[in-house]
Amino acid sequence: MADAVFLALSVITIGSAIAALELRSLIYGSIALMGTLGGIAGFFLLLDSPFVAMFQLAVYVGSIAVLILFTVMLVKRELIFKKVEDKRRKFVGIALMLVLMVALGSVIMDSGIKTITTDEPAVDFRNIGADFLTYYWPALILMALILTGSVTGALILARREDVENEQRTD
């Protein structure tokens, strides 16, 4: 059962990833990207970590995919993309990807990950939270600072001072 689900999820994830790269229509491409991200959430579910899976769905599918869709719909395609394509680039790209995948795969296979078998129950999300606040607190603070910095930067970049709103009365 789990194997069949795993196979189906792999096909969905990889297939929609390829579709996201190859489709001509940007909207369909971003829908396919959503399929990829949702497939990864499915992998997390198979790995007995529904907490991470739900965050994957909420953050990646729910927010980031929406941002991508929003951008794609509102920006003229000709402004951001110049079509530089020929067959040779494509084949070189595919070959490069295959080489990378084979290299990474062999490294992972050699690392002894195949011999690990465990019956331990899945990690409770309460433990994740406790670890974040005790042992890993510097990382948490650092992440928070980086996020705050990026949000502030985005707000400053998005600010326009030339717009006068004379309709506002409040």
Partner 1 sequence: MSVIAPNFKFSEFVKSILDNIFWILLIFVLIGLPAVFIILFYIEMPVINGELLTPFLALTWLADPSRTLPILKAFMTTDLFRIAAFPGFGFAALLAAGTIFIERKMLAKLQLRVGPFYCGKIEGILQLMGDGLKLISKEIIIPAKADKPIFWAAPIIFVATAAAFVALIPVAPGWVVADVDVGLLAVFAIIGFFPIITILSAWSSNSKFPFIGGIRALHQMVSFEIPLILSLLGVVILTGTLNLSEIVASQTNFPWIIFLPIGAIIFFITILAELERIPFDLPEAESEIVAGWLTEFSGMIYGLVQLGTYLKLYAFAALFVVLFLGGWTGPMIWPPFPEEIITDGIVIGPIHAKIPGLPVFSQEMLNGVLWFVIKTVGVIFFILLPRGVFPRIRIDMLLSLGWYKLIGLAFVNIFIALGLLYAGVLGPGGIL
Q: Is the dihedral of CA 82, 99, 34, 8 positive or negative?
A: positive
Instruction: Give least dist CB 167 to partner 1, A.
Output: 9
Tell whether residue 24 is a contact of partner 1 (CB under 8 A).
no
The interaxial angle of helices 125-133 and 137-158, nearest 10 deg, is: 80
**What's the rounded Cα separation, in Å, for the pair 99 and 103?**
6
Task: Indicate which single residue of 77, 83, 114, 168 sits in contact with partner 1 (rule: CB under 8 A).
Answer: 168
Tell whether residue 73 is a contact of partner 1 (CB under 8 A).
yes
Give the H or E element holding residue 162. none
Tell whether residue 75 is a contact of partner 1 (CB under 8 A).
no
**What's the rounded Cα separation, in Å, for the pair 119 and 14?**
29
Instruction: Give least dist CB 54 to partner 1, A.
Output: 4
Write out the residues near partner 1 by the rule CB under 8 A.
Answer: 27, 31, 34, 50-51, 54-55, 57-58, 61-63, 65-66, 69-70, 73, 125-126, 168, 170
